Amino acid sequence: MIPNSPIRPERIAADIEALSAITEPGRPWTRRAFTPMFLEGRQWLTRAMQEAGAVTQIDPAGNLVGTIPGRNPGLGTIMLGSHSDTVPDGGRFDGVAGVVAALEVARALRDQNIVLDHTLEVVDFLAEEVSIFGVSCIGSRGMSGTRPAEWLTRESGGRTLEQALVEVGGNLIHPAQRDDIKAFLELHIEQGPVLQNEALDVGVVTAIAGITRIEVVVEGRADHAGTTPMRSRQDALTTAAWIALGVEELAKALAAGPEHFAATVGEFEMWPNAGNVVPARVRMLIDARAELRADMERFTDELRNGIAAIAEKTGVTVEEPRIVSDNPPTPSDAGLLDILDAACERTGTRHRRVASGAGHDTAWMARITRAAMIFVPCNDGRSHTPDELATTDDIAMGAAVLLDAVQALDKKLQEES
Ligand SMILES: [Zn+2]
């Protein structure tokens, strides 16, 4: 840890310990949004924000926000934060590390009697993970004005999302979308192995990859597995296998470039899936992630061509691939990246630029403000498992970068305006 830093690792460790204790009994670590455990976690966080000198509220979108007014509040808000909800049987650090780091930045400023000119806000976004309502980033989408209206009628456990939103303290009376946020920064664990492998402290995130999901359906023909000669079959599975291998080959070629690319056949179903029947039908769902939109376009084009060639070779019908969902990549704000790089240099943090293959609240915040994020290492890149582990020192290094960046930003934004 950096000598003489106002960031105090022992406070970070204590916060993470306290939050991790708030979990479904016998099921570490589970604190899903909208559950009683989640609300208990938020009560704890509310007190912690207040102790850090913040005035707390639940905003209309259901986010917990701690506000520390600036000396010149007319300048607008600099916001820091992440999410406190977890996946079922998740980790102690995904999301929580970013909320706690933001809290520690607020405490470190207060300890030094520093009041920013901008208002500082610490946020715990509602339901970043796929929630019991089957959708994610509910709070950041609300705050950025991108939450689909039809989500509100989704049901889970006998109530609608609208009712659940009101239960956590949000509402539909006041507008949820913000227009006063001048910059947003999020610290998050990397959820991948790059930083640890390269013995780095911080990744400055260049972009959050776009995610495109493509459904492929192969229509073969069911026949007797014992009597149908090999040459006269239309086996949907073997054709699907060629396609799956083609997806891997294409993705490896694109991933060899400098920008992040990954593609996975994540869902695979076969009919009739019986021991003595030639497979008649296969459905696959491909999840493709690209830092560059051009890479995604190349992938979908070459996938179409490759599938046509495989269908011709095997003589089995493959339906036209169907784009099920398509979200473009979110590049980070270039000015914020420079500020974060400089903050890493000033704090002596070993850093590099990386892309995020996972989605984050930052992607939605980028719709309404300058936004960027930093990653801190996590052990073996593991996440969404109870084995997820980030060290207190690594989170503290990240918090020190945020602390430096927020102060630089407080000045730079005024020079710009
Ligand atoms: Zn997360």
Distance 49 CA to ligand 1 centre (A): 20
Report the 10 Å Cβ neighbour count for 414: 13
Distance 383 CA to ligand 1 centre (A): 9
Distance 126 CA to ligand 1 centre (A): 11
Q: Is residue 390 in a domain?
A: yes
Packing angle of the helix pair 293-314, 236-255 (nearest 10 deg): 150
Q: How far apart are the C-alpha atoms of 302 and 310, rounded to whole Å?
A: 12
Same domain, 140 and 167: yes
Q: Is residue 195 in a domain?
A: yes
Same domain, 229 and 291: yes
Q: Is residue 226 in a domain?
A: yes
Whichever domain contains 109, its CATH number is 3.40.630.10
Distance 278 CA to ligand 1 centre (A): 43
Last residue of a domain, one of 278, 300, 327: 327
Q: Is residue 394 in a domain?
A: yes
Distance 174 CA to ligand 1 centre (A): 27
pLDDT of residue 1: 56
pLDDT of residue 192: 95
Distance 188 CA to ligand 1 centre (A): 7
Distance 24 CA to ligand 1 centre (A): 19
pLDDT of residue 4: 75
Query: Which structural domain, as residue segments, surrounds residue 233?
Result: 210-327
Distance 199 CA to ligand 1 centre (A): 22
pLDDT of residue 2: 62
Residue 1 CA: distances (Å) to CA of 4, 201, 302, 349: 9, 10, 48, 9
Last residue of a domain, one of 307, 327, 347: 327
Backbone angles phi, psi at 13, to 5 degrees: -60, -40
Same domain, 81 and 179: yes
Distance 185 CA to ligand 1 centre (A): 14
Report the 10 Å Cβ neighbour count for 13: 16
Same domain, 224 and 201: no
Same domain, 163 and 214: no
Packing angle of the helix pair 96-111, 9-20 (nearest 10 deg): 140
Q: Is residue 2 in a domain?
A: no
Check the CA dihedral 350-354-357-362 and report its sign. Answer: positive
Q: How far apart are the C-alpha atoms of 391 and 382, rounded to whole Å?
A: 13
Distance 393 CA to ligand 1 centre (A): 19
Same domain, 226 and 310: yes
Distance 321 CA to ligand 1 centre (A): 30
CB 152 within 8 A of CB 162: yes
Distance 128 CA to ligand 1 centre (A): 7
Distance 95 CA to ligand 1 centre (A): 4
Element (H, E) at 324: strand 322-327
pLDDT of residue 57: 98
Distance 303 CA to ligand 1 centre (A): 30
In terms of C-beta density within 10 A (0-12 exposed, 13-18 middle, 19 or more buried), how is residue 99 classed? buried
Distance 292 CA to ligand 1 centre (A): 22
Distance 84 CA to ligand 1 centre (A): 8
Last residue of a domain, one of 292, 312, 327: 327
Distance 16 CA to ligand 1 centre (A): 15
Query: What average pLDDT values come out for the chain (417 residues) when binned by 10 residues?
Result: 83 98 94 97 98 98 98 97 97 98 98 98 97 96 97 96 98 97 98 97 97 97 98 97 98 96 97 98 97 97 98 97 95 98 97 96 98 97 96 98 98 90
Same domain, 277 and 297: yes
Contacts of 34 (CB under 8 A, 6+ apart): 127, 131, 132, 133, 156, 164, 167, 168
Distance 88 CA to ligand 1 centre (A): 13
Q: Is the pTM of this model over 0.85?
A: yes
The secondary structure of 328-352 as a DSSP string is --EEPPHHHHHHHHHHHHHTT--EE
Distance 218 CA to ligand 1 centre (A): 35
Same domain, 177 and 43: yes
Q: How far apart are the C-alpha atoms of 395 and 101, rounded to whole Å?
A: 7
pLDDT of residue 33: 97
Q: Is residue 292 in a domain?
A: yes
Distance 87 CA to ligand 1 centre (A): 9
Same domain, 162 and 255: no
Q: Is residue 3 in a domain?
A: no
Distance 102 CA to ligand 1 centre (A): 14
Same domain, 150 and 168: yes
Distance 260 CA to ligand 1 centre (A): 19
Same domain, 47 and 164: yes
Distance 83 CA to ligand 1 centre (A): 7
Q: Is residue 4 in a domain?
A: no
Whichever domain contains 317, its CATH number is 3.30.70.360
Distance 94 CA to ligand 1 centre (A): 5
pLDDT of residue 416: 83
Distance 226 CA to ligand 1 centre (A): 50
pLDDT of residue 220: 98
Domain count for the chain, please give it: 2
Same domain, 281 and 391: no
